[in-house]
Amino acid sequence: MPRNGRRVVALTLIVLAVGAVGLPVVAVSEPRDAPADTRPPVRVYVSETLDISSAQLSGGGTVGTEETTFTAVDGSESFTVDPTNANFDGVPVGSYYAESDRDVRADLSVVRPLVYSIVLRDDTQRDVTGRATDPENLDRLTIRARYSFADADRLDVSVVDSSGSEVATARVTENDQQITVDIPDPTPGLYSVTASGSNVEAGNRTVTVRVRGQVATAASTATATSTPTATPDPTGTAPPTPTATSTATPDPTATATRTPSPTPFPGTTFDDGPGFGVVAAALAVLAVALLGRRRR
């Protein structure tokens, strides 16, 4: 390369470097009330609320204070706002012109706000975004955030523990800014870190860091029921054994004893076989006759 060419390149680099050093850093500690740059198309962010009455129209003049309807340049969408307190919550991203303007060139550019990234570092400066760390390493948490709407709003940062309690808050006022918060007595569980615009609410992001350790639970402990143990008798006497009462069973071989019938006459034995009654009667009559003869 010719020497003159090298000098031109060198001078260009120097100018760029000086210019870069002199560039102001965009920072807002509070959400803006109105756009600083009012040239069309004026940039606004989805969910932002601000005064756009001073915004310039592409056809001349300003939006003004009267209720105004804006229509998408491609004709797909439209919305109506009070320019002194215009709410862009839910407005689709795109370019819009005011119906009160004399042309259809874009007067507003509605942009989606983005929180590009949040990086968390523990006391050891290790990246713990979406990871785990020990309780002793999280006494101080370093947070670094990058977002697209630093010209319009700040980021409000909230740190919430696993029980849902907010344990720390902070504020980011510059893109890619790094801040540090104190975490009192970190306990095991999942911590959530959320950064969102204070006015540009649609610009938000949440990341987590898990603290290692045993997480306490409220589970109840079951109590074992003991089996009662028999207490020994101090006298050493064994308790009596109940005796079963037996029921007498008749002996099938036993012979029933018969009770003899009274003898009608002394010395006379009667057979209880067949004809017993007739024989006995005849013998009785004969005995009486004989006895009568002897007496004569």
Task: Give residue 184's pLDDT.
Answer: 93
pLDDT tens, 24-33?
456 799 999 9
- Residue 204 CA to residue 89 CA, distance in Å, equals 14
Percent of the chain with pLDDT over 90: 63
pLDDT at 34 over 80: yes
Counts for the chain of helices (H) and strands (E), in that order = 2, 15
Task: Give residue 1's pLDDT.
Answer: 52
Global pTM?
Answer: 0.65
Task: Give residue 144's pLDDT.
Answer: 98
DSSP class of residue 46?
Answer: T
CA angle 169, 170, 171 (to 5 degrees): 145
Mean pLDDT, residues 193-203:
97
Residues 6+ apart with CB under 8 A from 34: 50, 51, 52, 53, 54
Task: Give residue 130's pLDDT.
Answer: 98
pLDDT tens, 85-121?
999 999 999 999 999 999 999 999 999 999 999 999 9
How is residue 60 written in tokens? 């001349």
Sign of CA dihedral 148, 149, 155, 161: negative
Task: Give residue 3's pLDDT.
Answer: 52
pLDDT at 206 over 80: yes
Q: What does pLDDT average to over the chain?
A: 79
Radius of gyration of the chain measured on its C-alpha atoms: 58
pLDDT at 67 over 50: yes
- Residue 134 CA to residue 88 CA, distance in Å, equals 43
| Contact of 133 with 212, CB cutoff 8 Å | yes
- Residue 60 CA to residue 42 CA, distance in Å, equals 14
Element (H, E) at 21: helix 3-22
- Residue 49 CA to residue 81 CA, distance in Å, equals 10
Domains of the chain: 37-112 (no CATH), 115-211 (2.60.40.10)
Task: Give residue 277's pLDDT.
Answer: 52
Strands 78-81 and 42-45: unpaired
